Structure 1
């Protein structure tokens, strides 16, 4: 026999499940009518009506107009109230910090980029806090209106110590408790994710990875890292360090000479490209200078590019052997600046390094916004659940 309390709990659970299914379908469609929601979810029209009434009462959805057809009555359309929640995405890099504040349907209200004060942990936290306050105020919001803040950073967040591991470009963040200081930036719930993991999420949501179940995003720039999507889902590994390909044993360097950098990163990152060029007598200030010289036919620069192709091809061969991705997306400063010099030769080299036909390699279309867009995509999915739990799941039915 089922007790009255058990029956009430079951009814409440079904109500929440129905409302969640209806809300998810409205998010997917943008606007939807009762008949469309019934057909898509398999729920009865009366159940749809009850769910919509509860969602509207919680101020999570609203009627937005009518859809007229060739016959029959016009259908009332519903959409999610964009201002029901807000996501603040933050890309924390060595050179720049980037902010984007978006409503619950993903429309960006405020965008801000600034040179990073990453030389000091304390100074960078102050900068992030000041910028967050400015961005939120510019949108006409208070700090408490932000549903979720997502920080994308280099390295791996050690949740036991609160330190950021494998992030030599952010001095001071390797100290215990350093990451927890981000709680003060907005005062809202927050998530810290690896920046390249977020970049692969962004590529899957808005770029070349959309609809691709198995792909990787390889960031070549100041540092080197890789984000991995397997079966359509981000793969982090046991300790969140999946994709740290900077430590692959690729190149001629001593892997112990710089404990802050992996062997592959020491030769193939922007600093590695510049060092190789200077060893050949070139006077350059950046990797971009080297690639520009290679396009002009400079012999030394072409040698540097050939070495970069060799390093990258060998690293990607290891990735192909282990993961067998369908697509490899190149991003980061070098991936963006030198795609025309790297992709063709790397693809050709891979055909001789792997057992099967290698995956296609393409340059990211998202550019410097890959991490920020990934933070938004990740944050929106999480914030929608948070808003639902806050506004709907705990609200008694009418």
Structure 2
């Protein structure tokens, strides 16, 4: 009975401290009396808990309430944002980006490096070295970084920690790759789908703020979608919800939907179906093969734009008024419209946010995309460009890492 009573007292104390810390994070600088009023805890309980939190470095004094009358001015407390730090990493096919923040989510340092890795070992080494360099440049000891969140293509298997469906990152799907990264970093680690993190980023500080149900459509080297419902990610039964790049692609060629598009060539310089040849009836393939970055380049070259070397150059040519490039943009918009139509039919989101290396060309894509939607479906969610652009994945990683680092700081102190 004595042991049970002691356990209950410990649990109650920890819960009280967690409650007070949470209120300080939510409300900012607050006095002990105000905390007692808000939480319903007694003033002595609040004072004892704040004393413990202050000695642990989780809470600090930040001044006093201005008091025009007599008596002592109440002391104001806040959650100490320097009690630990969080790291976000965005691993893309072309670039790796990293940023370190305090526990308030304030970015203290960031950096980027071209991704030239051709296997898992070099990818891990590059990402870990960049993260440590960013922390050092911010003047931080690496040991104070408590949690890291990595955004990458693919879906992390919770049982094996391996990343599935990340074909654009050589070796990243190898079993043990993420475990190697955790050993290199020595922090808490989560590896999260990049479109999911981008969706969280837009929900936190971008175009999705306040939206109960929206989808972030990431179009770049690959295609994926992040679904946010009620402020939380919807992942599906196996974490693969939103993997729209695997939607089937192609028709029997009789409905005319793709007639103009297919005449210009698809992802492999053909009609968009893998293995088909020009002039053949469209075959079923993956939407990613038909509408991601390489597909845009293939469409352009099949249209006679042989001088372009990247999807970016295709969009640049379209902005300059090149009619062939503008036609390619129209074809790309029509293909993306089918992804949006599928999402609208299954999820019925209020909003679809378009982003990613290709999607960030919303100034060119949105108008023809909306027109295509009107032709193919009566279900038309709102369509808006990303507000965060290339920072969306990193912003989502930061937001997720900060939440975990706050909890980790509290748990490490209590465990000690």
Query: Would you say the 8 A contact 1:250–1:311 is kept in 2?
Result: no
Q: Whole-Å Cα distance in 2 between the matches of residues 288 and 224 of structure 1?
A: 16
Q: 1:316 to 1:79 in 2, by over 3 A?
A: same
Q: 1:295 to 1:316 in 2, by over 3 A?
A: same
Q: 1:36 to 1:344 in 2, by over 3 A?
A: farther
What does residue 366 of structure 2 align with? 343
| CA drift at 1:57 | 2.1
Confirm or deny that 1:236 pairs with 2:260: no
| CA drift at 1:317 | 0.8
Higher mean alpha-carbon deviation, 161-170 vs 199-208, is at 161-170
Confirm or deny that 1:380 pairs with 2:391: no
Instruction: Name structure 1 gaps, 5 residues minimum.
Output: none
| CA drift at 1:307 | 1.2
The superposition leaves residues 257-313 of structure 1 with CA deviations (integer Å, 9 ceiling, x where unpaired) of: 8xxx96111111111111011111112112222223223332222221221121111
For residue 323 of structure 1, the aligned residue among 325, 341, 347 is: 347
Q: Whole-Å Cα distance in 1 between the matches of residues 395 and 175 of structure 2?
A: 29
Query: Would you say the 8 A contact 1:320–1:354 is kept in 2?
Result: no
| CA drift at 1:242 | 1.1
Q: How many equivalent residue pairs?
A: 387
Q: Whole-Å Cα distance in 1 between the matches of residues 150 and 344 of structure 2?
A: 29
Query: Would you say the 8 A contact 1:143–1:188 is kept in 2?
Result: no
| CA drift at 1:70 | 6.8
Confirm or deny that 1:370 pairs with 2:392: yes
What does residue 248 of structure 1 align with? 247
Task: Show structure 1 runs of 4+ deviating over 4 A.
Answer: 69-73
Query: Would you say the 8 A contact 1:197–1:228 is kept in 2?
Result: yes
What does residue 179 of structure 1 align with? 178
What does residue 290 of structure 1 align with? 314
| CA drift at 1:352 | 4.5
What does residue 279 of structure 1 align with? 302
What does residue 197 of structure 1 align with? 196
Structure 1 SS opposite 2:248: coil
Q: 1:39 to 1:308 in 2, by over 3 A?
A: farther
| CA drift at 1:181 | 1.4
Query: Would you say the 8 A contact 2:352–2:381 is kept in 1?
Result: yes
Q: Whole-Å Cα distance in 2 between the matches of residues 42 and 347 of structure 1?
A: 52
What does residue 61 of structure 1 align with? 59
Q: Whole-Å Cα distance in 1 between the matches of residues 227 and 275 of structure 2?
A: 27
What does residue 265 of structure 1 align with? 288
Q: Whole-Å Cα distance in 2 between the matches of residues 153 and 100 of structure 1?
A: 15
Instruction: Name structure 2 gaps, 5 residues minimum.
Output: 251-270, 277-283
Q: 1:132 to 1:297 in 2, by over 3 A?
A: closer
Confirm or deny that 1:33 pairs with 2:31: yes
TM-score (norm 1): 0.90
The superposition leaves residues 297-350 of structure 1 with CA deviations (integer Å, 9 ceiling, x where unpaired) of: 3222222122112111111011011111111111101111x2011122323433
Q: Whole-Å Cα distance in 2 between the matches of residues 161 and 4 of structure 1?
A: 42
Q: 1:208 to 1:105 in 2, by over 3 A?
A: same
Q: Whole-Å Cα distance in 1 between the matches of residues 67 and 370 of structure 2?
A: 51
Structure 1 SS opposite 2:209: coil
Q: 1:255 to 1:66 in 2, by over 3 A?
A: farther
